[in-house]
């Protein structure tokens, strides 16, 4: 679910400010008419409650839902209940600001483990950041973000993730844009025509002689049955190898994800037409597609192009029957199916912002994150045949914005020490071969969203030597990060 923020908030206000609605009104003397006149004694008003930031309790959930509906006109009661049913959820995952018994602001943290090039790393999603209208411009959202970062770090999360329409609010707290909206859109009729032409060309290529007959493998596309869920889990786990940004999903999480109703349909592609052979049932599933209306939210086919095309064809046929004017396909930029949509007259969108919404990330503990991925850095160094000892320094500087200014103060220094077998990360410096960047830009660099070359060209990173630039490019390859939208969809 995307982080929704109601309005920008000022940073200069304090949580200890009193509510405007509970401001004591000056008591006026009331005079009685008649034979005498006197001032009526007025008792002093009770002390005004102060704003308090605390972890939510189970009893706060109805009031939280009421606040979210008043600010965002959602979620529905069913969607909110689905949030409460998420595996691993506890009431204290929500941080709130209270004015007396009233909830003034809210932030939800959701635990998640993501993969960075086959290495799992703990993360926390920051969602549903909301402030009641009468409590805005007091810095409540900023305070909630800071408290959320501390709480997530205490629980072991190394990375904070969000989707938000208020990137400036998060940027002030050291977050950086990390990730892109990547999808293709085209007319379902045009896509079907293109797929039909491809199938005819494939059949013609398989017709090696007048007597040969090209017989494609039987592939049946049908709705997912509950008993086949383990096949979906298997396909997804196989797909995760070498991927960055994708969440790790347990079977329990998959059950919750599909039961919450974010997708209208889930199709599977199978090479078996016998539904009674349970031993072969799971192995016969070759791919799946999660669909919401005319949007293919997630499609995996185990690298088989024919399976993927059959799934696309089924979704486009459904959309055509429902008079849909466009089918949307969400997938990484390198997915070959984007070319089918392009040839069908569609367009590929790769933007950091769509509909005002951005992906953002922050390293909650940079040193711990670098040490966590040190085995991955060692593997990359071995793959590049770095057989001699080497050292790369990283300087994180203060300053907001997109550039690491030379005049900005150094916040932290790290040294990545490479030898023949391992990589160690230590604090301290400076180093001869060093790269300098803003504190917030370490997240997209470490997660693999932005390449060293792109950062250098945009002025966001400076290397002291060509050797530093070379080492950084080997250890931190870019353009490998992608966040699938399925986990963030609202029911």
Please tell me the predicted confidence (pLDDT) of residue 106.
Answer: 97
Q: In this structure, are strands 181-186 and 347-351 parallel, antiparallel, or unpaired?
A: antiparallel
Band (pLDDT 50/70/90 cuts) for residue 429 is confident
Band (pLDDT 50/70/90 cuts) for residue 19 is very low
Helices (H) and strands (E) in the chain, counts: 15, 21
Residue 366 pLDDT > 90, yes or no? yes
From CA 393, how far away is CA 464, in angstroms rounded? 10
Mean pLDDT of the chain: 85
**182-351 belongs to CATH 3.40.630.30:** yes
Band (pLDDT 50/70/90 cuts) for residue 316 is very high
Instruction: Work out the average pLDDT over 467-480.
Output: 95
Q: In this structure, are strands 159-164 and 119-131 parallel, antiparallel, or unpaired?
A: parallel
From CA 347, how far away is CA 269, in angstroms rounded? 26
Residue 421 pLDDT > 60, yes or no? yes
Query: Would you give the DSSP letter of residue 481?
Result: B
Summarize pLDDT for 22-33 with one digit per residue, the tens: 333 333 333 323
Residue 49 pLDDT > 80, yes or no? no
Query: Would you give the DSSP letter of residue 218?
Result: P
Q: Which two tokens stand for residue 169?
A: 């609010």
Band (pLDDT 50/70/90 cuts) for residue 12 is very low
Asked, colleague to colleague, whether 43-178 and 182-351 share their fold, the answer is yes
Please tell me the predicted confidence (pLDDT) of residue 6.
Answer: 52
Longest dimension (CA), the chain: 123
**31 — phi, psi (to 5°)?**
-105, 135
For the chain, give every domain's residue range.
Answer: 43-178, 182-351, 365-475
Summarize pLDDT for 226-235 with one digit per residue, the tens: 888 999 999 9
**CA distance from start to end of the chain:** 9
pTM attached to this predicted model: 0.84
Please tell me the predicted confidence (pLDDT) of residue 21.
Answer: 36
Summarize pLDDT for 337-356 with one digit per residue, the tens: 999 999 999 999 999 999 99
Please tell me the predicted confidence (pLDDT) of residue 16.
Answer: 40
Spatial CA neighbour of 217 closest among 156, 287, 294, 151: 287
3-state secondary structure of 193: helix
Q: Which residues of 201-233 are buried (b: 16+ CB within 10 A; e: fewer)?
A: eeeeeeeeeeeeeeeeeebebeebeeebbebbb
Residue 210 pLDDT > 60, yes or no? no
CA dihedral 371, 377, 381, 387 (to 10 degrees): 20
Q: Where are the beta strands (DSSP E) in 235-302?
A: 244-247, 265-270, 285-292, 295-300
Give one word for 100, left, alpha or beta, with left for phi > 0 and alpha for psi -120 to 50.
left
Summarize pLDDT for 175-203 with one digit per residue, the tens: 999 999 999 999 999 999 999 998 888 77
Other Cβ atoms closer than 10 A to 383: 9
Question: Measured at the alpha carbon of residue 362, what is the angle toward residues 368 and 125, in degrees to the nearest 5?
Answer: 100
CATH number of 365-475: 3.30.1050.10
Q: In this structure, are strands 181-186 and 94-99 parallel, antiparallel, or unpaired?
A: unpaired
Please tell me the predicted confidence (pLDDT) of residue 280.
Answer: 73
From CA 140, how far away is CA 13, in angstroms rounded? 8
**43-178 belongs to CATH 3.40.50.12140:** no
For the chain, percent of residues with pLDDT exceeding 70: 84
Residue 95 pLDDT > 60, yes or no? yes
Burial of 483 (0-12, 13-18, 19+ CB in 10 A): buried
């Amino acid at each position: 679910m995307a982080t929704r923020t109601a309005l920008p908030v000022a940073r200069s206000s304090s949580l200890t400010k009193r509510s405007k609605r509970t401001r004591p009104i000056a008591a006026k003397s009331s005079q009685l008419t008649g034979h005498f006149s006197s001032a009526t004694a007025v008792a002093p008003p009770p002390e005004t409650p102060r704003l308090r930031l605390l972890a939510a309790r189970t009893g706060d959930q109805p009031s939280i839902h009421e606040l979210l509906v008043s600010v965002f006109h959602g979620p529905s009661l069913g969607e909110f209940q689905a949030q409460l049913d998420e595996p691993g959820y506890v009431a204290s995952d929500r941080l709130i600001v209270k004015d007396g018994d009233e909830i003034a602001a809210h932030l939800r943290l959701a635990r998640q483990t993501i993969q960075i090039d086959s290495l799992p790393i703990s993360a926390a999603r920051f969602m549903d950041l909301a402030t009641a209208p009468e409590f805005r411009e007091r810095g409540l959202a900023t305070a909630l973000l800071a408290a959320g970062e501390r709480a997530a770090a205490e629980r072991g999360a190394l990375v904070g993730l969000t989707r938000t329409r208020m990137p400036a609010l998060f940027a002030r707290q050291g977050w950086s844009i990390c990730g892109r909206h990547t999808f293709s859109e085209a007319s379902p009729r045009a896509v079907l025509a293109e797929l039909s032409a491809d199938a005819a060309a494939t059949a013609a290529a398989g017709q090696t002689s007048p007597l040969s007959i090209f017989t494609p493998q039987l592939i049946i596309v049908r709705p997912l049955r509950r008993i086949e869920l383990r096949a979906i889990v298997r396909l997804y786990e196989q797909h995760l190898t070498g991927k960055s940004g994708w969440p790790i999903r347990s079977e329990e999480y998959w059950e919750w994800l599909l039961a919450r109703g974010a997708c209208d349909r889930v199709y599977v592609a199978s090479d078996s037409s016998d539904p009674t052979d349970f031993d072969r049932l799971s192995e016969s599933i070759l791919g799946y597609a999660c669909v919401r209306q005319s949007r293919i939210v997630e499609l995996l086919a185990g690298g088989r192009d024919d399976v993927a095309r059959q799934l696309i064809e089924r979704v486009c046929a459904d959309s055509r029957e429902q008079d849909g004017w466009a089918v949307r396909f969400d997938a990484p930029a390198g997915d070959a199916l984007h070319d089918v949509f392009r040839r069908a007259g569609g367009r590929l969108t790769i933007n950091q912002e769509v509909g005002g919404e951005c992906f953002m990330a922050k390293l909650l503990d940079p040193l711990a994150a670098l040490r966590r991925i040190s085995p991955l850095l060692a593997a990359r160094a071995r793959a590049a045949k770095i057989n001699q000892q080497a050292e790369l320094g990283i300087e994180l500087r203060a300053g907001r914005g997109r550039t690491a200014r030379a005049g900005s103060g150094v916040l932290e220094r790290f040294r990545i020490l490479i030898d023949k077998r391992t990589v160690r990360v230590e604090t301290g410096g400076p180093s001869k071969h060093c790269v300098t960047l803003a504190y917030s830009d370490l997240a997209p660099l470490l997660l693999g969203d932005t390449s060293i070359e792109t950062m250098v060209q945009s002025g966001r990173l400076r290397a002291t030597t060509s050797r530093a630039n070379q080492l950084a490019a080997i250890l931190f390859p870019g353009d490998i990060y992608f966040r699938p939208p399925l986990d963030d969809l609202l029911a």
